[in-house]
Chains A and B, each alone.
Chain A
């Protein structure tokens, strides 16, 4: 059974710092990996999607890497801002446990709570 773990559970940094969030997964048989942002009491905003054949994706100040064979992904945030404060979730898209037709459910980590203080 696929397990996704995120380290650290919480991170507090001063504004302007570059930071790295880590995600690991136990089964390398994934289709892709998605990073999300979740603000308190709100929905999930997709940040980046990395296909299993890709090594990294970039969007603005965000860069996500994927090492499928070692079961790891990192989300790099450059020049952090107070508006980046949120919970960051990673999720892997996995085949059906039961075999047969699967449209790829997402299995989530527990998230990293990021606080960027001015």
Chain B
């Protein structure tokens, strides 16, 4: 069964460094999302992406964040200058269609900023 994959599974970085989290959505999916979950807190929406454009972003997704689909398979989340409070589990999700379709989540990347 097709699944969303994410790499790396765990990333440790120092404050101020740039990180890129990678996702490979399910191949026939057209809509892509990033969410994050700070330890002990709710899963929070970051951004949605369609047709090579951001379609919606949350207030968390400030200028330090960017997303890109550099080729036909990868979808990346970049954090330019990491802060301690960026430490969280980051989930990528994809769906084949829009509003009425299920979102499928990847296993997540645990980001630890020291």
Instruction: Say whether B99 contacts A31, CB under 8 Å.
Output: yes
Tell me if B68 is interfacial: C-beta within 8 Å of chain A. no
Tell me if B33 is interfacial: C-beta within 8 Å of chain A. yes
Instruction: Say whether B56 contacts A34, CB under 8 Å.
Output: no
Tell me if B55 is interfacial: C-beta within 8 Å of chain A. yes
Tell me if A81 is interfacial: C-beta within 8 Å of chain B. no
**Known pairs A31-B99, A96-B56; A46 contacts B105 (CB<8 A):** yes
| Closest residue on chain A to residue B49 by CB atoms | A103
Number of cross-chain contacts by CB at 8 Å: 65
Size range of the chain A interface in the assembly: 20 to 34
- Distance in Å from the Cβ of A28 to the closest Cβ of chain B? 15
**CA of A101 to CA of B100 in the docked complex: distance in angstroms?**
15
Instruction: Say whether A34 contacts B99, CB under 8 Å.
Output: no
Residues of chain A contacted by B6 (CB below 8 angstroms): 43
Interface string of A55-90 (1 = CB under 8 A from B): 000000000000000000000000000000000010
Interface string of A80-110 (1 = CB under 8 A from B): 0000000001010100101001111111111
Instruction: Say whether B50 contacts A43, CB under 8 Å.
Output: no
- Distance in Å from the Cβ of A51 to the closest Cβ of chain B? 6
Instruction: Say whether B102 contacts A34, CB under 8 Å.
Output: yes
Residues of B69-114 at the interface with A, using a CB-CB cut-off of 8 Å, are 91, 93, 98-100, 102-108, 110
- A interface, CB within 8 angstroms of B: 31-32, 34, 36, 41-46, 49, 51, 89, 91, 93, 96, 98, 101-111
- A44-B105, A105-B56, A107-B45 known; 15 other A-B pairs, CB under 8 Å? A34-B103, A36-B105, A44-B43, A44-B91, A89-B43, A102-B55, A103-B50, A103-B55, A103-B98, A104-B99, A106-B45, A106-B93, A106-B103, A110-B42, A111-B42
